[in-house]
Amino acid sequence: MQFRTTLAVVSLTVSPMVVGADFDDWEGEGEVGVLITSGNTEETNINGRLGLKHEVAEWRNKGDFRSSYSETDDTTTAEKYRAELQSDYKFEGSQYLFVRGAYEDDRFSGYDFRSSLTTGYGNRVWQRGERSFLDLSIGGGYRFNKLEEPDEDGNRDEDEAIGRLAGQFDYALSENALFRQKLSTEIGLSENNTISESETSIQATVVGNLSMKAAYLVQHVSDEPAGAEDTDTQISVSLLYGF
């Protein structure tokens, strides 16, 4: 019930900004990476992502949807699905207020799912042109997770107030190449469980709207469930199509 309430609040907050939007103002990118090997070890890795963005004078809306799957010798070794929605209300040039909702289902994390809803203040503290900028934000909200197995007290639900710090640095290396660094941390205010993430990527145009992208993702959970690793890393190489 709590998770459904979280999703409802996210939908009610974000949908008014999206419904009235002119879809001619939307832009996005689709990304896919596939690696299949055979021989002594048969391995399959598939990564997919869809990113959407809508920006007008006062509003900036973003959606990010990801999936990853790995299989070795017919045994699934990784399976993750993730969705993020964020709406920014811009004022006085570079400042903005944001509302953000996130949901993640990682089969090997020890959680059935993790979800959060946060709101706060952000500022584009530096910008050069349209493709190079630094965004910093701070806020707070609520986190609700469900464990795959009950903890020592017999509980599967984790819910607490959280603080959130985040930053994104985009730098145009050239007309055809872009470096991006994203950092975020969500700090539990009662259970003291901190979830931090870093994503470093570089992409270069191959031809037209088609680009090649290499990325390194690190996620750290300070108080991980029993039997799960506290740090998860992923290296990916993929093709990206902008539209």
Amino acid 94 reads S
Contacts of 49 (CB under 8 A, 6+ apart): 29, 30, 31, 32, 64, 65, 66, 67, 238
Give residue 42's pLDDT: 82
**Nearest Cα residue to 114 out of 86, 139, 84:** 84
CATH number where 58 lies:
2.40.160.40
**Nearest Cα residue to 32 out of 189, 191, 215:** 215
Q: pLDDT of the chain along its 243 residues, tens only? A: 444 444 444 444 444 444 445 566 789 999 999 888 777 678 899 999 999 999 988 999 999 999 999 999 889 988 999 999 999 999 998 999 999 999 999 998 889 999 999 999 999 999 999 899 999 999 999 999 999 888 777 788 889 999 999 999 999 999 999 999 999 999 999 877 899 999 999 999 999 999 999 999 999 999 888 778 889 888 899 999 999
pTM of the shown model: 0.84
Total domains in the chain come to 1
Cβ atoms < 10 Å from Cβ of 228: 15
Q: Which domain holds residue 17?
A: 2-242
